[in-house]
Amino acid sequence: MSFDIAKQSIDYILSNPELFNEPSVEFDFIGGEPLMEVKLIDRICDYLKSQMYKRNHKWFNSYRFCFATNGLLYSSKDVQEFINKNHTHLSIEITIDGTKAKHDLNRIYKDGRGSYEDVVKNIPLWLEQFPDCGTKVTISHADLPYVCESVMHLFSLGIKVVNINVVFEDVWVDGDDKIFETQLLNLADKIIDNNLYENCVCSFFVENIGKPMDQILDNGNWCGSGKMLSIDAAGNFYPCTRFAQYSLREKKCVIIGNCVDGIDSNKLRPFLTLDRTTQSPQKCIDCEVASGCAWCQGENYDAADTDTIYQRSTAICKMHKARVRANNYYWNKLFRKLELEGRREEYNATHKKQTEKPC
Amino acid sequence: MLKYLIIPLANDAVSFCHYERGNASDRLIDIDMLKKAIFWAMTENVNVQFVYPDKEMPSEYKPVIDTIDHAKIVSSHCEDKVLTDEADIVVFDGWNDLDAFKCQSGKSYVVRTDKSGLFDNADVFKSLFPKLDRLVVVITDIDKFQESDFQKYEALLNAMIPIIKEEYGKGHSLHFNLLTDRMFLDKMNNCNAGDETITLAPDGKFYICPAFYLDGSKAVGDMETGLDIKNRQLYRLDHAPICRKCDAWQCRRCVWLNRKTTLEVNTPSHEQCVVAHIERNASRRLLEEIRTLGEFLPENEIKEIDYLDPFEIIKQ
Ligand code: SF4
Ligand code: SF4
């Protein structure tokens, strides 16, 4: 992205506060690897801050710059300078896939060397600077046998929050749900038996998932697409980056405007009126364990039989059901243990009830 | 449930709706295909509407067409004047020949016009209303309406109210889609393409409506394999989150325009909704006016509302 495109986009966003009426904002820089362009990002952030100040914009002092990075450049001079300059308004997530063996399967340099060692050496500095930031892990078919050891490894590195989910794409084969469930049951035992639940969080285990959902009261959309704006290097606007051409398999990208002409609000209407039941097949409406079963609007669109965001993909169905079973086990086991130790009330008082965070 | 089959007999069959008609080529529907389509319509028990090109149909088609009860949609420019006389619906492209045309009672006349044609020809309506029983105006560029057009449109419809009232006063219960349809309705009455209506195009394949055929959209089945409408539920009102909350029941709710403007067949544009609500609200005023002449549709109330786009209520 050129600075000019970024500037035009910022000017458009800040000059149309009625279109962006949230009290706060997150600016998320997405790569490839965003920190490779930290100088450009720094310039963009400076421009943003100065404009919010000049315009007396409500977001001045209520903004955040967010990054998901592979962590390789984390300790470099440029990145550290950027962090020091913006620290109070930054969230940085370093992505590690798990153990060295697991991480180096996919995350390699051009010459084939694994990148694990180079990332891990930056973890202590990152945790010192952002002790509350978590890491994000995405599980696909090949990752299933490593779920438990990967999460445990991340905890052992000192990372306290592991945000983890299975991919929404239709990659699952027969038996995957069994493997997944076994992995999660092992993980549940390890977290509880080693008292890791005191300080660590793995987002697979959430107390209130796996319940039927009310058709009227519980009819919101899961996915946040359309409530955010994604901007590509050419200045095109998307309801989420998953709708850009580079993210889609066969479908045509969904452009909802650009930094010159602004947003075509008609193109946003389907996103803003989308609800759970209208897009769901009957099996999901009737589902006994529906709560927490997520979807990605971009994947729904990509997988749909027609060019629509109104056809929910249920590729994760059996994986969600496996997760629900393991999740039930986790909470039953944990609460029983706490009760036997007379610590249930103390736990309730000191731990926020985890809720599933929509995308 | 499917109720209607539209069969454009040629690529350049007249457009009776928002889309532009196809190029003047000679692509007539194959006569054997036509026979199969008629057979299909009989077995599926759907009503057939034939849409004619301006050029006279070859004589061998006429007996085939007559093997099924049907409605004829014909252009005012059709070479075959007998056909125009027999037509159930006569379509005018613009306003030019309307004055001179000899309208018949009991017949529907469709005028396709863009917004500027509409605003410039308000006077033509006045001369037309006494002459015909049903006038349908299709605005071809609803998606281009701007704020100033909405105001002009409201003013235009308001100006029609006393004229229509006068007709009703004379005992002439004129139907004019933009103003009277809503008065008579007690539920949605939309185009319903893809749900109640389907089109068999000259290429022998099914399409949601002729517009989908002409813009190169994918077919939704053919004579051999039958209908195969993917995500068919999205053409139904209960799967249209904005429209199912709406009471502008006269709105055409054009799924083709929806897709063009919002990329989704079940989601209308802002312009579509505002235009339909201006009509709805004008119908409300017309209903009140006609009632000053005596009892009229006592069961049908049109509530006063404070929005022009139901999207606003959903957002709240
Ligand atoms: S995808 Fe499966 S688990 Fe999820 S809500 Fe639908 S039926 Fe239930
Ligand atoms: S006015 Fe809008 S919401 Fe109402 S039926 Fe027409 S298109 Fe749908």
Distances (CA, A) of B98 to A216, B175, B203: 51, 17, 33
Burial A310-346 (b: 16+ CB within 10 A, else e): bbbbbbbbbbbbbbbbbbebbbebbeebbeeeeeeee
What percent of chain A lies above the pLDDT cut of 90?
Answer: 89
Q: How many CB atoms lie under 10 A from the CB of residue B147?
A: 7
pLDDT mean over A70-79: 97
Query: What is the C-alpha to C-alpha distance for residues B192 and B237, in angstroms, rounded to an integer?
Result: 8
pLDDT (0 to 100) of residue A356: 64
pLDDT (0 to 100) of residue A8: 98
pLDDT (0 to 100) of residue A178: 98
Does the pLDDT value for residue A359 go beyond 80?
no
Nearest chain B residue to A219 by CA distance is B241
Per-residue model confidence as pLDDT tens digits over A107-144: 999 999 999 999 999 999 999 999 988 998 999 999 99
**What's the predicted TM-score (pTM) here?**
0.94
- The atom of ligand 1 lying closest to the CA of A284 is 6
Query: What is the C-alpha to C-alpha distance for residues A35 and B246, in angstroms, rounded to an integer?
Result: 49
A306 touches chain B (CB under 8 A): yes
Q: Count how many residues are written for chain A.
A: 359
Does the pLDDT value for residue A212 go beyond 80?
yes
Does the pLDDT value for residue A358 go beyond 70?
no
Sequence-distant (6+) residues with CB within 8 A of B247 are B280, B302, B303, B305
Query: What is the C-alpha to C-alpha distance for residues B210 and A267, in angstroms, rounded to an integer?
Result: 23
Per-residue model confidence as pLDDT tens digits over A215-233: 999 999 888 888 899 999 9
Place of tokens 């995350």: A107
Q: How far A264 CA lies from chain B's nearest CA (Å)? A: 9
**Ligand 2 pocket check for B248: Cβ under 6 Å:** yes
Residues of B in contact with A270 (CB under 8 A): 262-264, 266-267
Q: Provide the 3-class DSSP secondary structure of residue B181.
A: helix
B230 touches chain A (CB under 8 A): yes
> Helix axis angle, A77-86 relative to A38-54, nearest 10°?
20
**Ligand 2 pocket check for B201: Cβ under 6 Å:** no
Lowest-confidence range among A78-87, A201-210, B100-109? B100-109
**Given an 8 Å threshold on Cβ–Cβ distance, is B231 in contact with A311?**
yes
**B294 phi/psi in degrees, rounded to 5:** 145, 180
pLDDT (0 to 100) of residue A351: 86
ipTM over 0.90: yes
Would the CA dihedral through B255, B257, B258, B259 be positive or negative? positive
CA B252 to ligand 2 center in whole angstroms: 8
Query: What is the C-alpha to C-alpha distance for residues B154 and B149, in angstroms, rounded to an integer?
Result: 8
Look at residues A99, A100, A95, A94 and name the one whose alpha carbon lies nearest to residue A113.
A100
**Ligand 2 pocket check for B242: Cβ under 6 Å:** yes
Exposed, middle or buried: residue B153 (CB in 10 Å: 0-12, 13-18, 19+)? Answer: buried
pLDDT (0 to 100) of residue B216: 95
Q: How far A308 CA lies from chain B's nearest CA (Å)? A: 6
Look at residues A18, A299, A22 and name the one whose alpha carbon lies nearest to residue A167.
A299
Does the pLDDT value for residue A354 go beyond 80?
no
pLDDT mean over A250-274: 97
Token pair for B54: 């301006």
Query: What is the C-alpha to C-alpha distance for residues A116 and A72, in angstroms, rounded to an integer?
Result: 9
Identify from B147, B208, B263 which residue to disrupt to test chain A contact, counting A C-beta atoms within 10 A and taking the largest count.
B263
Does the pLDDT value for residue A357 go beyond 60?
no
Q: How far A358 CA lies from chain B's nearest CA (Å)? A: 19
| 8 Å CB contact between B223 and B36 | yes
pLDDT (0 to 100) of residue B236: 97
Query: What is the C-alpha to C-alpha distance for residues A207 and A334, in angstroms, rounded to an integer?
Result: 11
Q: Which residues of chain B have pLDDT under 50?
A: none
CA dihedral A258, A260, A261, A264 (to 10 degrees): 20
A316 touches chain B (CB under 8 A): no
Query: What is the C-alpha to C-alpha distance for residues A5 and B62, in angstroms, rounded to an integer?
Result: 62
Exposed, middle or buried: residue B113 (CB in 10 Å: 0-12, 13-18, 19+)? Answer: buried
Token pair for B234: 């999205």
Place of tokens 């944990």: A334
Q: Provide the 3-class DSSP secondary structure of residue A262.
A: strand
**Given an 8 Å threshold on Cβ–Cβ distance, is B231 in contact with A308?**
yes
Instruction: State chain A's mean pLDDT as an integer.
Output: 95
Widest distance between CA atoms in chain A? 63
Distances (CA, A) of A27 to A12, A38, A53, A228, A236: 14, 14, 16, 10, 16
Measured from CB, residues less than 6 Å from any atom of ligand 1 are A 283-284, 287, 289-290, 293, 314, 317, 320-321
